[in-house]
Structure formats: structure tokens, C-alpha cells
Amino acid sequence: MTEEIKDNEEVPEENEGNDSGSNSSEENGSAPEELTIEQQLDAALAEASDYKDRWMRGQAEFANARKRMDKQRTQTYQNALASLAGKILPAIDDLDRAVENVPQSVAEDNWFEGIQLVQKKMITILENFDVKPIEAVGEPFDPNMHEAITMEPSDEYDSEVVIREMQKGYMIGDQVIRPSLVVISQ
């Protein structure tokens, strides 16, 4: 028994010396290849261009988000204004009817002039918020701005022209708050 293997002695494995992360150039025995100055410059320029592109995209996204928020804020304001005006319009309609149908004895009183001033002030307030009445009488019927109640024959107007307005319509800019209730010609 000339060759005895001791129990605590380890037998080396064949692959034990190979690191999985070792460089292939080291395995071949050659030195790693260094980048030239031009290659390093090209790599740095490519990286800078990538950073600049990402920055510009971020700026564009931010500008687009700002535009969306401004547009949404404007739309929210206009919707709130349209909702408020829609709730005030019945009171203005009532004042209009009261002023149009006032008896002559009441029309001569001073307090009636105050009622007329209140009516004008409410209309002025709406106009300050760009709420304007829809012109209807004599205009061609437009289903986007007019709601036809009935049709009547007319010698004065062509077919499908508004001949009488039963209730005034209003709009803010291009948005109709309330269409005009109208009678159109046959």
C-alpha cells in the first residue's frame, strides 16, 4: 500500500480552475483589446445623443401634458359656466315675460323701472361671460340651435325658416346651452 489516500485530502476536479466569468481573451492567453480614442469618442457621442434624445422626448411629453391640462381646464370652466347659465336662464325668461306682459298701470310706476334694470343687469352679466342669445326669427331652421315645436304655413318666409320664437336659446362660444324653441314655416 504505497499509495494511500488520506480521507481529508481532496481530489482536484478538471473544471475547477475554469471561471464562468473569465474573459475569452484571457483563456486564449492574449491581452484584452483596448478601444482607440476615436472609438471612445464615438461611443461618448452616441451616448450623449441618446441622452439628448431622451431629454427632448421628455420635454415634448411635458409640453403636451401642459397643453392637455390647459385644454381640460378651459373645458371644465366652460362646462361649469354653461351649467350655471342654464340654471339662471329660467329666471331671466320669467323676467322677460313679466316685462312683456305688464299692465299699463304698473308700467308707469317707478319700481317697474327697477325691475327692468335688474333684467338688463342679468343679461349684461351673461354677456360678460360670453353667453349670447341665439338669433332665430328669419334664420333657416338648424336642429343644432333650434328645437321646432310646430310648423305653420307662411307667405312671408320660405320653407323651413323660423317664423316665431317661443323661448330664447343661448350659447357660449360655439356651445349651445339651450336651443331656441321655435315655430318654422312649411
- Taken in order of first residue, the domains within the chain and their CATH numbers are 131-186 (2.30.22.10)
pLDDT at 15 over 80: no
CB 131 within 8 A of CB 177: yes
Please state the rounded mean pLDDT for residues 2-18: 49
Please state the rounded mean pLDDT for residues 100-115: 85
CB 31 within 8 A of CB 25: yes
- Give me the pLDDT at residue 32, please: 60
The answer to which of 3-12, 29-38, 111-120 has the lowest mean pLDDT is 3-12
The fraction of the chain above a pLDDT of 90, given in percent, is: 48
β-pairing, 146-152 with 170-172?
Answer: unpaired
* Distance of alpha carbon 186 from alpha carbon 151, whole angstroms: 6
pLDDT at 167 over 50: yes
Please state the rounded mean pLDDT for residues 38-52: 94
* pLDDT digits 0-9 by tens, 130-144: 899 999 898 899 999
> Which residues 6+ apart lie within 8 Å of 95 measured at CB?
115, 118, 119, 122
- Give me the pLDDT at residue 160, please: 86
> Which residues 6+ apart lie within 8 Å of 164 measured at CB?
137, 152, 182, 183
Task: Write down the mean pLDDT value for the chain.
Answer: 83
- Give me the pLDDT at residue 30, please: 55
- Give me the pLDDT at residue 24, please: 45
CB 136 within 8 A of CB 182: yes
- Given pLDDT bands bounded at 50, 70 and 90, which one contains residue 13? low
Output DSSP code: residue 155. Answer: S
- Give me the pLDDT at residue 31, please: 54
